[in-house]
A = this chain, B = another copy of it.
Amino acid sequence: MNMRNSQKSGEQQYLTPTQVADMFKVSPITVRQWSSSGKLKCQTTPGGHRRYLPSDIEEFAKTSGINLTTSESGPKRVLIVEDDAQLGHLLEEFISELDSELEVYRAEDGFRAGELLHTVHPDLILLDLMMPGMNGFEVCERVKRDNKTRDIKVVAMTGYSSEHNVNRILAAGAETCLSKPIDFAALRTILAPLTQQAHA
């Protein structure tokens, strides 16, 4: 079970030459050249090894027009935004067992949702539209408006699926809108693309 709950902060905020090389699909030596010629900014360790910040990489990617094959290769991540503990847990279990390769995170409030959106950068969000202090429609709109997050698929969930609400959330960029109680068969179908890629 590859379930990753809330508090995890073992991310690395710097990149080594080989990691950068992998991102651009070139050899580490080439990355070294880019740095020594000043094309790619870098910091150095006291021992003289180069360290790269994500911002430096992005800038270089834009300047040189090379598209970076970022972390598309890693395991797929799903973020569940649901304040109901019971349903939330059920969804966690269901998705984890669908594919043990999937990393499942859950936010039980808006703050946590905002945090996880940017710290784990999920591939898909299961979003409860009706949560206290959080407007699900707005959240979806914001996700789709931000360049950094617009590639994330949003699957809405609501207990009041009026035609108006469904149209509104779809217009905001959501993939689909599931009515509660959740049809798990439908959910499985929706998640199929993620599991297929994870197995590939």
| Docked-complex contact B9 and A148, CB < 8 angstroms | yes
CB contacts (< 8 Å) of A66 on chain B: these are 44-46
- Determine how many copies of this chain the complex contains: 2
| Docked-complex contact A134 and B111, CB < 8 angstroms | yes
CB contacts (< 8 Å) of A6 on chain B: these are 142
| Docked-complex contact B135 and A133, CB < 8 angstroms | no
Interface mask (A23-45 → B, CB under 8 Å = 1, otherwise 0):
01110001000100001000111
Q: Answer yes or no: A109 CB below 8 A from chain B CBs.
A: yes
Interface mask (A124-146 → B, CB under 8 Å = 1, otherwise 0):
00000001111100010010011
Q: Answer yes or no: A76 CB below 8 A from chain B CBs.
A: no
Q: Which of B22, B24, B44, B110 contacts A133 (CB 8 A)?
A: B110
Interface mask (A104-129 → B, CB under 8 Å = 1, otherwise 0):
00000111111111110000000000
Which 4 pairs across A and B sit closest by C-beta, in order of nearness?
A: A133-B133, A114-B114, A110-B110, A46-B64
Q: Beyond A24-B45, A83-B133: 8 further Cβ-contacts under 8 Å?
A: A9-B146, A9-B148, A14-B25, A46-B60, A110-B133, A111-B114, A112-B142, A115-B142
